[in-house]
Amino acid sequence: MYWYLWTGMLINRVGGFVALVLSLYLTSAQHLSLSVAGLVVGGYGIGGIGGVLLGGVLADRWGRRPTLLLAHFGAVVFLAGLAITDDLPVIAALAALLGLMHSMPGPAFVAAIVDVTPVDDRSRAFNLQFWAFNLGMAVASLAAGLLAEVSFPLLFAVDAAATLVTALLILWKVHETRPRRATTVRASGGLHTALTDPSFMLFVGLSLLLSIVTLQSSTILPLAITGDGLRPTVYGSVVAYAGLLIVLGQLFVPRLIGRWRKGTSLAVANVFLGLGFASVALADDVAGYVVAATIWTVGSMIAAPPNAAVIAELSPEALRARYQSVFYLVFPAASFIAPAAGGASLEHLGNWHWVLCGVLGLTAAAGHLLIQPARERRVAKQLEAERFAVPVAG
C-alpha cells in the first residue's frame, strides 16, 4: 500500500507545475497587472490554507481514500476550467478552489502513510517521501518552463492528466487505511485538541523556526546574490545544485541517522541549517554560495525523516490527519513571515541578517534537545494507551 501512495505522490508532484507558473500565466497570457495577478495568486494561497484544515478534518471523518479522491478529481475539474476560461472573476475563483484541492491531500497522504507503516519504518518511509517530493519538484520545474513556452492550455492539460492518473491509481489500488478503533480522544477531539496540545504545539513552534530559516533560500537569498553583483542565473544554479544534492544524497540519510534519537537528529539538522545560512554572510562569489548551500541542504536532508516521524508519534491515532493539518499550517505561516521579516532584516541589518538566521537555527536546535525527554515520555504513554484502545465495528 505504501508504494502505491508513494507513486501517486511522485506522479502528482511531477505534473504539479501550474502553481509554479501561475503568476506568469496571469501576466503574460491573461495580460493582468502585477498587482491583480498577485491578488489571484494570493487567493490560491488562501485556498491552500483552507484545504489543509479541511483535508485533515475530512480524512479523519470520511477516511483517507475519499478525501484523496475528492481532492484529485476536484483538481482535475478546476485545472480544466482554467485551461478554457478567460474571464477574470472565474479565473480567480478557480485559482482559489485549485489551491483548496491542491492542499487537501497533504494531511490525508501523510496520515495514510502512518497508518500503513510500522513505527520502526516510519523514518525511512518519510525519507523516501521527501526524496520523491524533491525529485518530482525538480522535474516539474523543468517541465513548467518548457511547457509555458509552448502553450499554457497544454500546461494545464498535462497537469490535469498527471492528477487524473494519480486519482485513478488511488481508486484502483489504495484502500481505506483509517484505523477502526475508538479512543477517548476520538470522542471529544478535533482541531482544538491539536491546537491545545502543549507537546505538539512546542514542536510545531520549533518547526516554524526551521521553516522560516529554510525559506530564506527562496525568498531573501536571490536579493543577496544580486546584491553581490552576480547574475540571477547564479541563484538558479545554486537552487538547482541544492535540489540535485537532495536527490543524490537523501536515500543515504536513514543509514546515517538511524541510531540517533529523533530530537538529536533534529538538533543536528538545525545546527547545519543555521550554519549554512549564517555562512551566506561570508559569501560573495559562486563558490561561497555553493558552500553555504551544501551546508544548509545537509541540514534539510537530515531534518526531513525525523520531523515527519515525530509529528506521527505525537498524533493520537484517531486524530492523525487533524494533527497533520495543523502542522501543515507551518508552511503558509513561514511563507509569509520569511519574506516579510527577512526583507526588512536584510535592509536594516545587511549581512547580520544571515547571522541572525544562524542564531535562529541554533535556538531551534537547543529547543529540540530541551523538549526531547518530555516528548519521548508523552509518546511512550500514548503508545501504551493505544495498545488498549477499544475496537469498534465497521
**What grid cell was written down for 285?**
562569489
**What grid cell was written down for 11?**
506522479
What pLDDT does 188 receive?
52
Q: Given CA atoms 192, 363, 298, 210 in this order, what sign does their dihedral have?
A: positive
Last residue of a domain, one of 127, 143, 178: 178
What pLDDT does 183 receive?
40
- Does residue 394 sit within a domain? no
Are 281 and 318 contained in the same domain?
yes
What pLDDT does 149 receive?
76
Residue with cell 497533520: 324
Q: Closest Cα partner for 216 from 303, 292, 132, 325?
A: 292
Are 198 and 338 contained in the same domain?
yes
What pLDDT does 13 receive?
76
**What grid cell was written down for 146?**
518548457
Residue with cell 494533527: 323
- Which one has a higher pLDDT value, 141 or 186? 141
* Per-range mean pLDDT, top range of 228-237, 243-252, 282-291, 305-314: 282-291
Are 82 and 164 contained in the same domain?
yes
Are 302 and 162 contained in the same domain?
no
Residue 15 has pLDDT above 70, yes or no: no
- Does residue 184 sit within a domain? no
- Does residue 222 sit within a domain? yes
What pLDDT does 363 receive?
97
DSSP codes of every residue in 62-110:
T-HHHHHHHHHHHHHHHHHHHHH---HHHHHHHHHHHHHHHHTHHHHHH
| Identity of residue 368 | H
Residue 187 has pLDDT above 50, yes or no: no
Residue 373 has pLDDT above 90, yes or no: yes
Average pLDDT of span 229-239 = 81
Identify whether the C-beta of residue 325 lies closer than 8 Å to the C-beta of residue 56: yes
Helix or strand holding residue 180 (H, E)? none
Predicted TM-score (pTM) of the model is 0.78
* Per-range mean pLDDT, top range of 111-120, 163-172, 176-185, 336-345: 163-172
CATH number of the domain enclosing 379: 1.20.1250.20
Q: Closest Cα partner for 280 from 329, 221, 195?
A: 221
Name, in order, each residue with C-beta under 8 angstroms of 244's C-beta and a sequence gap of 6 or more: 138
Are 257 and 149 contained in the same domain?
no
What pLDDT does 391 receive?
46
- Does residue 183 sit within a domain? no
Identify whether the C-beta of residue 161 lies closer than 8 Å to the C-beta of residue 83: no
Q: What percent of the chain has pLDDT over 90?
A: 38
Residue with cell 495543523: 326
Structural domain count, the chain? 2
Last residue of a domain, one of 178, 203, 222: 178
Last residue of a domain, one of 178, 199, 221: 178
Q: What's the whole-number average pLDDT of the chain? A: 86
What pLDDT does 182 receive?
40
User: Given pLDDT bands bounded at 50, 70 and 90, which one contains residue 190?
Assistant: confident
Average pLDDT of span 116-120 = 84
Are 153 and 194 contained in the same domain?
no
What is the domain extent for residue 245? 189-389
User: Given pLDDT bands bounded at 50, 70 and 90, which one contains residue 185?
Assistant: very low
Q: Residues, the chain, total?
A: 394
Are 83 and 159 contained in the same domain?
yes
